[in-house]
Chains A and B, each alone.
Chain A
Amino acid sequence: MSASPASSAPAAAIFCRGLRKHYGSVRAVDGLDLEIRPGECFGLLGPNGAGKTTTIEILEGLTPPDSGEVRILGRAWGTHERELRARLGISLQETRFSEKLTVFETLELFRSLYPSGRDPELLLADLALEEKRDARVGKLSGGQRQRLAVACALAGDPEILFLDEPTTGLDPQSRLQLWEKMETFRATGRTVLLTTHYMEEAERLCDRVAIVDHGRIIAEGSPAELVAGLQAPHIVEFASEPPLSETEVHAIAGVRDVRRRDGSWFAGVASLVDAVPALLSTLDREGARLVTLSTHQATLEDVFISLTGRELRDE
């Protein structure tokens, strides 16, 4: 298009470089670069306090960064705010709508704020809220409120949808329902940026994820790439009586990393067919009885642990 200074990435839907933001002595965002292509569903994944919300709110033009460059659809917030606002849909973390308005009134209100957009009746249907059309927002369940928040974000028929922790605090069924709606939106070729600390969510919805910790991106790629990049793509989880020592677990053939949780050992291994027989013979040699044994494919959670040595979810 025109010779814009963002020559670095005219094609990116969302682009930022060298983003920094600190609150007092806390560096919420500490030098963060992103480039999200049009049509991509991109996830910012990380524990609470990693800087995900600060990052997404900077990209949404709601929080000014201390330094760094942001381009949304090739435009800068400083010069094209009104245009960008009309082209984006935003759902914030923990927004509460006015409880006195009905679902439909709320949708109509948000629709009226955009120059063009989707018919509120269609939005109701899209988000499975028809039955709650005339219910007061105050009477909705958590899942219904969250769907309303997404419906309001879609009211302007946006090119990019920003969702900050869209399913936090929802029951599994509501989460599943919301995921289906987000997949439908993605299928229309629009761009989605979401933050989450749920692995399953990122793995299911996102084309690519960036794992964020302490305000920086520590890994980026498709969920499959990230898992494949692990030295130990399988996890063997077991407990024995008496338990093995950490040295003994490390000594088992093919074990790459080890962690202990709730009395069980979690051993990351390169190959199950090598590691499981080796584990059994170690137990046999030590005279220990196997209490539990299970294996699973490594997930993004294991990626996070292997990168940071910490669990993703604070328990």
Chain B
Amino acid sequence: MSEPRRGRSALSMLTRARVLEFVREPEAIFWVFAFPVLMALVLGFAFRDRPPDPLPVGVVAGPSAGSLSAALAKSSGVRPVPFATREEGLAALRIGKIALLVEEAPDLVYRFDPTRPDARLARLEADDAIQRSRGRRDPAAPKEALVHEKGSRYIDFLVPGILGLNLMGTGIWGIGFSIVNARLKKTLKLMVATPMRKSDYLFAQILSRFVFLVLEVAVILVFGVFVFGVPVRGSVALVLFVAFLGALSFAGLGLLVVARAQTLEAASGLMNLVMVPMWLVSGVFFSAERFPKATQPLIHALPLTALNDALRAVMLEGKGVPAIGRELAVLVLWGAISFAAALKIFRWQ
């Protein structure tokens, strides 16, 4: 009779203790709430919407240098940078200060590195400007219709990725450090000396994560939507549900990673070992599709890839549950398997 009531109360008290520990740790608040916003802010401004910068094109001094510079200055794609000698120009080209070096002595020569995309672009733009200034007439005169579709910009790609990244970071770091600390201080050992259910302790760690989940997701989403106009085309509830499964998955993984770690150093190393590969391959900053085809099944089996893909599908494409079923299954499997494994191998003292 009293048994189940005690179980629930122990679980709620353990969860409460963990939540209190967290809110009384100012650093933790910063890393969970302020850091992702700062990161999105910095990256958002680095890749903000604006006309592309004109590419710098060097012009070597000579009889026609003035007319070349004037022609280049008329183009919106390039801007001229004068050089007194060819050597100075080449030096600037080598270190990437200019994308292309133009010289007419007496033949017109374009010097550039064809492996650099901006150099090839500068060559086309500069050549266009110079040919037109010397009387070329274009047979067709197309009109340009510029498209600035919300949802296809880099910041739109980035915000769901940062949300996923943050859910991974807070799950693994947050749980990992609190567990290793409790193990080092022998609080874990003292707790297993009581009638506490071991699963209650571990489950409380996961539950305490959910307490902050809504807030954590809200901070990043509200920021993305209001500052950068990132669209949320699917249902907000579904975004939250995906985030919830992501948090579950990473909480389980966090428990597993530190299930046996005896020192903070060992735990940090293990957490990085798990997280850094996902930072790189799971499509946070650039699409996971860029990696070789053979690695794709593996990459898509990772929880962060599944989380990012699902978040993007709901936010940017307005997809519903059926379209992200595979991703949700990946998240649930990671969470459940790692929690069960952690409980099995967990070191309490």
Instruction: List residues of chain A with CB under 8 Å of any chain B CB.
Output: 60-62, 82, 85-86, 88, 90, 92, 94-98, 100-101, 105, 108-110, 112-116, 136, 152, 155-156
B186 to chain A: closest residue by CB: A95
27 contacting pairs across A/B (C-beta < 8 A):
A61-B193, A88-B193, A90-B193, A90-B194, A92-B190, A92-B193, A95-B189, A96-B185, A97-B185, A98-B17, A98-B21, A98-B185, A98-B187, A100-B20, A100-B21, A101-B20, A105-B20, A109-B13, A109-B14, A109-B16, A110-B194, A112-B9, A112-B14, A114-B6, A115-B2, A115-B195, A156-B195
Q: Is the CB of A113 within 8 A of B186?
A: no
CA distance A100 to B196 in the complex (A): 21
Residue B75 at the A interface, CB < 8 A?
no
Residue B24 at the A interface, CB < 8 A?
yes
Q: A94: which B residues are within 8 A, CB to CB?
A: 186
User: B302-332 interface mask toward A, CB cutoff 8 Å, 1 = contact, 0 = none?
Assistant: 0000000000000000000000000000000
CA distance A60 to B348 in the complex (A): 14
CA distance A137 to B189 in the complex (A): 18
Q: Is the CB of A101 within 8 A of B13?
A: no
What's the nearest-Cβ distance from chain B to residue A202, in Å? 23
Q: Is the CB of A95 within 8 A of B10?
A: no
List the 10 closest A-B pairs by CB distance, nearest first: A112-B13, A85-B195, A96-B185, A90-B193, A100-B24, A113-B194, A113-B196, A86-B195, A100-B21, A112-B10
Q: B264: which A residues are within 8 A, CB to CB?
A: none
CA distance A95 to B186 in the complex (A): 6
Known A94-B186, A98-B187, A115-B2: A105·B193 in contact at CB below 8 Å: no
Known A86-B195, A156-B194: A100·B25 in contact at CB below 8 Å: yes
CA distance A101 to B13 in the complex (A): 12
Q: B24: which A residues are within 8 A, CB to CB?
A: 100, 136
Q: Is the CB of B195 within 8 A of A95?
A: no
Q: Is the CB of A113 within 8 A of B191?
A: yes
Q: Is the CB of A62 within 8 A of B189?
A: yes
Q: Is the CB of B20 within 8 A of A115?
A: no
What's the nearest-Cβ distance from chain B to residue A164, in Å? 11
Residue B272 at the A interface, CB < 8 A?
no
Known A95-B187, A98-B187: A85·B13 in contact at CB below 8 Å: no
User: Would you call the interface of chain A mostly helix, strand, loop, or mixed?
Assistant: loop
CA distance A98 to B179 in the complex (A): 11
Q: A86: which B residues are within 8 A, CB to CB?
A: 195
What's the nearest-Cβ distance from chain B to residue A193, in Å? 14
Q: Is the CB of B190 within 8 A of A108?
A: no
User: Would you call the interface of chain B mostly helix, strand, loop, or mixed?
Assistant: helix
Q: Is the CB of B195 within 8 A of A113?
A: yes
CA distance A109 to B19 in the complex (A): 13
Q: A96: which B residues are within 8 A, CB to CB?
A: 185-187
What's the nearest-Cβ distance from chain B to residue A149, in Å? 8
Q: A60: which B residues are within 8 A, CB to CB?
A: 193
Q: B191: which A residues are within 8 A, CB to CB?
A: 113
CA distance A62 to B191 in the complex (A): 11
Q: Which of B193-225 contact A (CB under 8 A)?
A: 193-196
Best-surrounded residue of A90, A100, A113 (most CB of chain B within 10 A): A113
Residue B3 at the A interface, CB < 8 A?
yes
Residue B268 at the A interface, CB < 8 A?
no
Q: B343: which A residues are within 8 A, CB to CB?
A: none
Option from A90, A114, A156 in Cβ contact (under 8 Å) with B190: A90
A90 to chain B: closest residue by CB: B193
CA distance A121 to B9 in the complex (A): 18
Option from B14, B17, B195 in Cβ contact (under 8 Å) with A114: B195
Q: Which of B142-184 contact A (CB under 8 A)?
A: 182
What's the nearest-Cβ distance from chain B to residue A129, in Å? 18
Q: B6: which A residues are within 8 A, CB to CB?
A: 112, 114-115
User: B230-265 interface mask toward A, CB cutoff 8 Å, 1 = contact, 0 = none?
Assistant: 000000000000000000000000000000000000
B13 to chain A: closest residue by CB: A112
Best-surrounded residue of A101, A109, A112 (most CB of chain B within 10 A): A112
Q: Is the CB of B2 within 8 A of A62?
A: no
Q: A136: which B residues are within 8 A, CB to CB?
A: 24
CA distance A109 to B349 in the complex (A): 19
Residue B192 at the A interface, CB < 8 A?
yes
B24 to chain A: closest residue by CB: A100
Q: A85: which B residues are within 8 A, CB to CB?
A: 193-196
Q: B20: which A residues are within 8 A, CB to CB?
A: 100-101, 105
CA distance A114 to B14 in the complex (A): 13
CA distance A90 to B24 in the complex (A): 28
Q: Is the CB of A98 within 8 A of B182?
A: yes
Q: Is the CB of B189 within 8 A of A92?
A: yes
Q: B25: which A residues are within 8 A, CB to CB?
A: 100
Q: B9: which A residues are within 8 A, CB to CB?
A: 112
Q: B21: which A residues are within 8 A, CB to CB?
A: 98, 100-101
New A-B contacts (6) at CB < 8 Å, excluding given A92-B189, A98-B21, A113-B195: A85-B195, A97-B185, A100-B25, A112-B6, A113-B194, A114-B195
A116 to chain B: closest residue by CB: B2
CA distance A101 to B18 in the complex (A): 9
Q: Is the CB of A62 within 8 A of B349?
A: yes
Q: Is the CB of A82 within 8 A of B195?
A: yes
Q: Is the CB of B3 within 8 A of A115?
A: yes
B5 to chain A: closest residue by CB: A115
What's the nearest-Cβ distance from chain B to residue A57, in Å? 9
CA distance A156 to B6 in the complex (A): 12
What's the nearest-Cβ distance from chain A to residue B126, in Å? 63
Q: A82: which B residues are within 8 A, CB to CB?
A: 195
Known A112-B9, A115-B2, A115-B3: A95·B190 in contact at CB below 8 Å: yes
Q: Which of B269-326 contact A (CB under 8 A)?
A: none
What's the nearest-Cβ distance from chain B to residue A58, in Å? 13
What's the nearest-Cβ distance from chain B to residue A97, in Å? 6
Q: A109: which B residues are within 8 A, CB to CB?
A: 13-14, 16-17
CA distance A155 to B191 in the complex (A): 12
